[in-house]
Amino acid sequence: MSSPPVADFIAREARFGARNYEPLGVVLSRGEGVFVWDTQGNRYLDCLSAYSALNQGHCHPKILAAMVEQASRLTLTSRAFHNDQLAPFYEEIAELTGSHKVLPMNSGAEAVESAIKSVRKWGYEVKGVPEGQAEIIVCANNFHGRTLGIVGFSTDAATREHFGPFAPGFRIIPFGDLAALKEAITPNTVAFLVEPIQGEAGVIIPPAGYFAGVRALCTAHEVMLILDEIQTGLGRTGKLLAEQHEGIEADVTLLGKALSGGFYPVSAVLSNNEVLGTLKPGQHGSTFGGNPLACAVARAALRVLVEEGMIENASVQGERFLQGLRSIRANTVREVRGRGLMLAVELNPEAGRARRYCEALQLEGILAKDTHEHTIRFAPPLVITSDQVDWALERIAATLTVDLT
C-alpha cells in the first residue's frame, strides 16, 4: 500500500496545527544511524540531528533495547516514591561529568528555568543578596529555550514580540566580550548564564581564552557560572563537555537533548552542592522529572556515547568536515565556523537566503537547517564516518557553487 502524497501530510499539518515552525518540505518516516527516509522512500543524510538530540544516531539499538525493557517494567512513579533507576542515573552522570548534585528534568528549557530558580535562591540564602534584587547576566543573541521567562531575556525580536510583560532581573552583554562581563557584575549578580558556543545564533565561537577569563571573573566575584551545554554537551564539540576545550569547570551545567539519544525528553541540572543544596522538599519538582523510563534511557545513551568512541569520532570527523567546508571555493561563502561536529557556513548576503540552499541540499540527499537568514548549520550524528563526510562535502560544494538567487 503506497503512502499518501507528501502534500497531503503537509496540508493536514497546516490545517490542524499551530504554525510555529517552518519546516522543509520533506515528511520523514524512518531513521537509522546518520540516515533518515521520507514517506516516498528517499534517503537523506541527517545534518541537523534534531538540534544535537541525536548525537548517538537515529534509533540506536542499545538505547532502544533499554527503553523497551524498562517500558515493559515501570515507566512512571512520580517523585512521591523512589524508583530503582534514579539512583544509578545520578551516580553515573555525576561520575562521568564530575558533578556533585543532579536535578533531573524533562526539556532543556526546564533545565534552564530550574537553574535560574536555584541560583537566585543561592544568591539570597548564601551570598546574601537583598530579597528581590538578584541579577543574572546573559548574552545577546542567546538561545536558552522558549518559555516566557527565557524569551524575556532574548534579543531576538521574533521570540519576544507580543509575549510580554517579562520578568526583571537580567542584564544583557555582548557574547565573547570579557570586559563587558567585568563591567556588568555588581554585588547583586548571582550568575552568568551562557552557551559555550552560540548554536542558534549561527555557531558563534568566542575568542580563545574567553572562558578561562570568565571562570576567573566569576570566581573572584562569587558569581555562579552556568554553562548551557544542552546543544554543545555530550560529545558534540569533540569533548564530553565544551568547557573542556579551555580546561574550566562550570558551577552549574545544563544538559538535555542527547541525554536521551533522541528517544525521550530528558534534561538535567548538574551542580556543586552549594547551589542545588539550597532546594528543600516542595520548592521545585516535576512529575516526569527523574522517572524510571527517562533514567534507563539516559543511562544507555551515556553508556554508548562513551563505549563506542563517539566523542573521539566527533573530534576527528569534525575536523575533516570543517577543513572540507573551508576548502570550498565559492562566491556564496562568507565564513565557515565550527568545533567538532557543530559547524556552520555563513553565506554572503548577495547569495540570498540560506533556506534556498537547504532546499537545494535536500534534493541532493542532505538535510540541513538555516538560521538567521544567511547561515546553514551542519550537525550530523556523532557516528558519521569519513566516507559519509566526504560524500556530504562533495554535494555541499556542488550546491554552494550554484547561484540560487
Domain boundary, last residue among 278, 307, 336? 307
- pLDDT at residue 3 greater than cutoff 80: no
Domain that holds residue 370: 6-59+309-400
pTM of the shown model = 0.96
Q: Do 21 and 74 belong to one domain?
A: no
Position 52 in a domain:
yes
Which CATH number characterizes residue 114's domain? 3.40.640.10
Count up the domains in the chain and report the number: 2
**pLDDT tens per residue across span 317-375:** 999 999 999 999 999 999 999 999 999 999 999 999 999 999 999 999 999 999 999 99
Active-site position among 257, 263, 288, 370: 257
CB 373 within 8 A of CB 356: no
Q: Do 153 and 245 belong to one domain?
A: yes
Q: Do 124 and 55 belong to one domain?
A: no
Provide the 3-class DSSP secondary structure of residue 163: coil
Q: What is the pLDDT of residue 403?
A: 75
CB 50 within 8 A of CB 257: yes
Position 389 in a domain:
yes
Q: For residue 257, indicate whether it is catalytic.
A: yes
More confident residue, 283 or 402: 283
| Dihedral over alpha carbons 241, 205, 385, 42 (to 10 degrees) | 110
Active-site position among 35, 143, 288, 321: 143
Average pLDDT over residues 238-259: 98
Position 1 in a domain:
no
**pLDDT tens per residue across span 172-189:** 999 999 999 999 999 999
- pLDDT at residue 273 greater than cutoff 90: no
Which CATH number characterizes residue 393's domain? 3.90.1150.10
Q: Do 168 and 71 belong to one domain?
A: yes
Average pLDDT over residues 242-259: 98
Domain boundary, last residue among 266, 290, 307? 307
Domain boundary, last residue among 286, 307, 328? 307
Average pLDDT, the chain: 96
CB 27 within 8 A of CB 6: yes
Question: Regarding beta strands 189-194 and 224-228, do their DSSP bridges make them parallel or antiparallel, or are they unpaired?
Answer: parallel
- Phi/psi region, residue 363 (left: phi>0; alpha: psi -120 to 50; beta: rest), is alpha
Active-site position among 38, 46, 228, 370: 228
> What percent of the chain shows pLDDT beyond 70?
99
Average pLDDT over residues 84-97: 98
Q: For residue 228, indicate whether it is catalytic.
A: yes
